[in-house]
Amino acid sequence: QSALTQPASVSGSPGQSITISCTGTSSDVGGYNYVSWYQQHPGKAPKLMIYDVSNRPSGVSNRFSGSKSGNTASLTISGLQAEDEADYYCSSYTSSSTLEVFGTGTKVTVL
């Protein structure tokens, strides 16, 4: 099965908003409202930031928001901060073999 497509890198200045896209198919992103987003700092385990397309776990800043349109999901980080510099991965339920499929990952740089 193919990974979901994300841009390799996205950058922004402190205080700005950035959006990371995650494109799949009707068998995953487009077919189900089970898209998650993970933040990963170097050497650390991934941290759940968004689940079920737009829900934030307790303790996650409301600067992080998720949405979906068709086969593309998006993660928006508003009021960008230095601590947001990390790798971000989307994940979606899929009707194919593994139940879940990851995105290719996006490196966010705060300029």
Partner 1 sequence: QLQLQESGPGLVKASETLSLTCTVSGGSLSRSSYYWGWIRQPPGKGLEWIGSMYYSGSTYYNPSLKSRVTMSVDTSKNQFSLKLSFVTAADTAVYYCARLDYYYGSGSIWGQGTMVTVSS
Binding site for partner 1 (CB under 8 A): 1, 3, 34, 36, 38, 45-46, 48, 51-52, 55, 57, 89, 91, 93, 97-102, 104-105
**Closer of 21 and 104 to partner 1 (Cβ):** 104
Q: Are 22 and 101 in contact (CB under 8 A)?
A: no
**Closer of 17 and 26 to partner 1 (Cβ):** 26
**Closer of 64 and 93 to partner 1 (Cβ):** 93
Measure the CA–CA gap between 81 and 75, rounded to whole angstroms: 15
* Alpha-carbon distances of 25 from 4, 11, 44, 91, rounded to whole Å: 8, 26, 30, 12
Short-list 93, 89, 74, CA closest to 29 = 93
**Closer of 83 and 100 to partner 1 (Cβ):** 100
Residue 24: φ, ψ to 5°: -130, -140
**Residue 15 Cβ, how far from partner 1 at the closest point, in Å?**
28
Question: Which tokens belong to 95?
Answer: 């009707």
**Residue 29 Cβ, how far from partner 1 at the closest point, in Å?**
15
**Residue 34 Cβ, how far from partner 1 at the closest point, in Å?**
6
**Residue 84 Cβ, how far from partner 1 at the closest point, in Å?**
19
